[in-house]
Every structure is written in C-alpha cells, then in structure tokens.
Structure 1
C-alpha cells in the first residue's frame, strides 16, 4: 500500500492538481519545464515511499520494484533535459522485464502490450519512433538490472 501510494497515487494527484490549476495541459505533461517539475515531485515521492517501506519492513521484492522505478525515473529525468524520451515506454517495458524476472519467461508476452503502447505514443504524435525505441530499451535494461540487484 505504501509503494502504491507514493509511486502512483501521490504522483497522479499532483499531476491532476497541476492540470486543474492550468500549470500543464494534460496528464502527459509534454512541455519540458513542466515535465521536469513533475518528475522532480515524483522522484521525491517515490524516494519517500522507499524509506517508509524499508522502515516498515516491506517485502524485499516490493522494495526492489519501487527502487527500480526510482532509478529509471531519475535517468529519464536527466535525459529529459536534452530530449523527450518516452516515459510511458520505459515504465511499461520495465514493468514487463520485472514480471519476467519474477514469474518466468512466459510473462514476456507482456511485451506485446509494450508494442501497443509504443504505437499509440507515435500515433498520437507525442513521441517519435526513436523516442519510443529509446524508452523501451532504457526501461527494459535499467529496470531489469536494478530489480535483479535490489532483490
């Protein structure tokens, strides 16, 4: 519950608040300055959640999942200073990579959904193919490596 609160509920609440206040146009937060603010708030929220999970003695696999998210997001934030890499792709691909590590190779079928997400990002003109490909590769590699080490 703590992981979900700090990694999902608080970030989406902050994004929705920003939309209502007119700070950004939609939940995708396409403008670089706003995107960086949102990423900083999410990084702080996720880091806080990790600390609370460790203090509360959360299962190691759950902590590893959230740590993987934090590291991936930090790298995405750094890249965002120069280029609009696809966060959607990195998150979906990273989630699939961790599912494969946890539940076995048949979970690789989840990457079919990653392809659909990537297609939608290009089709909606939110990203170029290269931004989608880079997000997929980064999310897969970083999440898999950090999750493996943190578990």
Structure 2
C-alpha cells in the first residue's frame, strides 16, 4: 500500500493544532504543577473553555454561516473576527481565574494569550503568521518556565509541524519560522516578567 504523504501531513497538522496543543499544555501545568490546589478543576475548566471549547464552537459557527472557508481559517483575511473574539474570551478567562485566586502563572497565560492574539491580529492585517507554530512554541515556553529545561525536548515537534504546514501549503517557511520564534520568546518573556512582579 502506497504511503499517503499528504494525509500524514494533514494528520500532524490536526493533532498538533492549537485546540489540542494548548489544553494539553494546560493539563500538564495544572495537574503536575498545582495538583495540591483544591481549585484545580476550576482552573482547568476555565483554561479548557478558553483554549478549546469556545474556539471550536466559534470556528464551527463561522464555517456554517460562510464567514470562514475551512476550519483552519487558511485565508488571512478571514482571521480578524475569530482573533478579536478570542481576545475577549481570554480576557474573560483571565478575570474568572483572578476571581478564584488562581496561581499567577495561570492568570498570566490567559492575559498574555489575549495580548498575543491582538499582536497576531495586527500582523494578520499585512501578513500571515502561523498560529499553529505560535501556539506550539508558546505552549513549550510555558512548560519550560514551570518544569525547567527538560521540557525543551518538545522543541523537536516544531520542525515536524513546520514541514506539515509547508507541505500542505498553508504557510511558507518564514511564516512558520517567525511564528515559532516569536511564540516561544514572547510568551517566555511575558510570563517570566509576570511571575516576577
């Protein structure tokens, strides 16, 4: 049986997508980093709603009414509204986590998800940055900050995802590279500063 390279790239792109990578990182952060906290379930619920449930419902709804052409929102011009809504969702999640007195790292994640969504939104007006790579790299930055250098082995996923997105013609090399570099550096610096306040 002939190996289907396109299908393989597509599977990678879906498995290592923002709606899977972000909640996986949050589960690891909360369950391994704050397992003794009695409000663990509350933290996970807010993080999961902001990173997976609302984005999936939003994209599904926009696809159904024809505002986006596909679930990956491949066209740059169609990304403005989803990014704007997700900025608000993350800010709401940030406020909810503050109300339950969540650890500063977790509130910072949603706060800077909102900030970074605005950044990506502004970039999107002129250029198409890879949100897949941005999310993966920023998730690795969070884990590195919490668990140390051992988490850096996850960076091996970046070239694999870069290949997938380029092979599928969703992005070019620079769009994936810049998404990766900015995603890691910006999130690491933001959270490091936030925790140190």
TM bucket (normalised to shorter chain) is over 0.9
TM-score, reference length from structure 2 = 0.73
Deviations 1:32-66 (A, max 9, x none): 33211110011111111111111221222211222
Gaps of 5+ in 1: none
- The structure having more radius of gyration, on CA atoms, is 2
Which residue matches 1:133? 177
Q: Quick check: 1:93–1:140 contact (8 Å CA) kept in 2? A: yes
From 115, 119, 138, give the equivalent of 1:94.
138
From 64, 74, 80, give the equivalent of 2:118.
74
Deviates more, 1:53-62 or 1:92-101: 53-62
TM-score, reference length from structure 1 = 0.94
Match status 1:40 vs 2:110: no
Q: Deviation at 1:129?
A: 0.2
Gaps of 5+ in 2: 1-44
2:79 aligns to what SS in structure 1?
helix
Which residue matches 1:21? 65
Match status 1:118 vs 2:148: no
CA-based RMSD? 1.2
Which residue matches 2:17? none
Runs of 4+ in 1 over 4 A off after TM superposition: none
